[in-house]
Chains A and B, each alone.
Chain A
Amino acid sequence: QVQLVQSGAELKKPGASVKVSCKASGYTFTSYVISWVRQAPGQGLEWMGWISPYNGNTNYTQKLQGRVTMTTDTSTSTAYMELRSLTSDDTAVYYCARDRAGLSDPWGQGTLVTVSS
């Protein structure tokens, strides 16, 4: 079955970077883009951007431009999201999702990133 499995929870200090992985299985990795969405505690969903594993094209929300980098490794069917210069506002659960033509399904289980000194 189609599945996305994310890396484990992270605790980071302000100013640090975090890299979250998302390993896909059960489908042809290069046939779908991977979207990243985050959710701060008790808040709604925030779309961060997406990457095409087929050609490496990316699209990031303007809010995170310059701090976020999304990459893929097609040899392992894994997508990565790196966020730099972390602040407490980046504390959230980060999700990856398989995406095509405006539908995201399925989603990974989520990765909690906590930014605290």
Chain B
Amino acid sequence: DIQMTQSPSSVSASVGDRVTITCRASQGISSWLAWYQQKPGKAPKLLIYAASSLQSGVPSRFSGSGSGTDFTLTISSLQPEDFATYYCQQANSFPHTFGQGTKLEIK
């Protein structure tokens, strides 16, 4: 199985800050990576697919980059509604494993 490792596991930031979350795959996955946002008690929401494609309706302050084994999710200017947990997921091979999650908290 491909292992996905996110860092950091948690981060504290303020409204307006720029935040970057990284995701590393244990082997190359080309661009088969998606990012999801999850708020407490809610289902995950797709933000980014194919490593860098913004899902329709998602604000442009979210962006993704990377290919192969190293990927990043960047939020350019944090808004109050962005405080949540973020997960990466690889879809290069089965099982489609998730990272352990990064909790973004208000400083």
Q: B32 on the interface (CB 8 Å rule)?
A: yes
A108 and B34 CA atoms in complex are apart in Å by 18
Encoded as 1 (CB less than 8 Å from any B CB) or 0, chain A from 44 to 69 comes to 11110110000000010110000000
Q: Are B43 and A45 in contact (CB under 8 A)?
A: no
Encoded as 1 (CB less than 8 Å from any B CB) or 0, chain A from 97 to 117 comes to 100011111111110000000
Residue of A nearest to B29 (CB): A102
Chain B interface, >50% SS class: loop
Kindly identify which residue among B33, B46, B92, B95 contacts A105, using a CB–CB cutoff of 8 Å. Answer: B46
Q: Are B98 and A45 in contact (CB under 8 A)?
A: yes
Q: B97 on the interface (CB 8 Å rule)?
A: yes
Residues from chain A with a CB closer than 8 A to the CB of B71 are none
Residues of A within 8 A of B (CB): 35, 37, 44-47, 49-50, 59, 61-62, 95, 97, 101-110
Residues of B within 8 A of A (CB): 1, 32-34, 36, 38, 43-46, 49-50, 55, 87, 89, 91-92, 94-101
